[in-house]
Amino acid sequence: MTRRKVYEGKAKILFEGPEAGTLIQYFKDDATAFNNQKKGVISGKGVLNNRISEYIMTKLEEIGIDTHFIKALNMREQLIKAAEIIPIEIVVRNVTAGSLARRFGVEEGLPLPRPLIEFYLKSDELNDPLVSEEHIFFFQWAEVPEIEEIKIQAYRINDFLSGLFLGAGLKLVDFKIEFGRVYDEEGNSYLIVADEISPDSCRLWDIKTGEKLDKDRFRHDMGGVEEAYQEVARRLGVLMDAGPIASITAKKKTKDNPLGKKVKKTAKAKPDNDNPKKKK
């Protein structure tokens, strides 16, 4: 079956969906950082981000936040609602890190007195510049009530996800979300959370050790990138029934698998307590 590709980005591909108003979001293993200056592949990332994003979007739906997620299709694809993307990346920060620390010359890891929201224009050519609310209104990237709604939702998502990750032994340092506009039968627009929420778009630090378990491992050549994404998925409990994911975890040479043989695609993932990688 040939399907029409609607858009190919750095980390995902969008295909036309089976019905009007839907799209298929395909998660690639490709990774980029620092506005495309650094490129690479994180083996198995697409599979893990597909699962993690599905899990988080479903949890958000459970607390009444509308998202684009409709249903999982396969290991790398999910069916989503097509939205008009607001061309602004919304970043919520709880602790200083990344560009905030660089831009203002502050140390990484300082807890902020309250969550900080930042807006960045989605523009690769301009290097995703930081913009103010005024810029957003002036250039009509979003309406005033939309920005108000986005801020309310962003704080709520931050509170909820901070708790969710805390339960998995992870500190939510910061994250990026995108919102899209969709229309109801009467033609009124409303906002939904779109794109993805995954270790590509969140900074997640181990609560006890401070170890980074997110894309910063790739950005700064820290090694253990695949393992970090797997660890987040495992802690969220989304690897449990994911049989084929065993083929990723077994690709590396280990004591139990010295040849680094792939596990047969149909193999069921081992129960957690059998997992040799599990941290004691």
Ligand X SMILES: Nc1ncnc2c1ncn2[C@@H]1O[C@H](COP(=O)(O)OP(=O)(O)OP(=O)(O)O)[C@@H](O)[C@H]1O
- Residue 46 CB, shortest distance to ligand X, in Å, is 10
Contact positions vs ligand X (CB under 6 A): 7, 9-12, 14, 23, 68, 80-83, 85, 122, 124, 178, 180, 194-195
Nearer to ligand X, 65 or 240 (CB): 65
- Residue 82 CB, shortest distance to ligand X, in Å, is 5
- Residue 217 CB, shortest distance to ligand X, in Å, is 19
Nearer to ligand X, 200 or 226 (CB): 200
- Residue 192 CB, shortest distance to ligand X, in Å, is 7
Nearer to ligand X, 101 or 182 (CB): 182
Instruction: Report the alpha-carbon distance of residue 193 to residue 253 in Å, rounded.
Output: 39
Q: Which residue is nearest to ligand X (CB)?
A: 9
- Residue 256 CB, shortest distance to ligand X, in Å, is 35
- Which among 279, 164, 158, 170 is positioned nearest to 214, based on CA atoms? 170
Nearer to ligand X, 70 or 228 (CB): 70
Nearer to ligand X, 124 or 272 (CB): 124
Q: State the Rg of the chain over Cα.
A: 19
Cβ proximity of 203 and 97 under 8 Å: yes
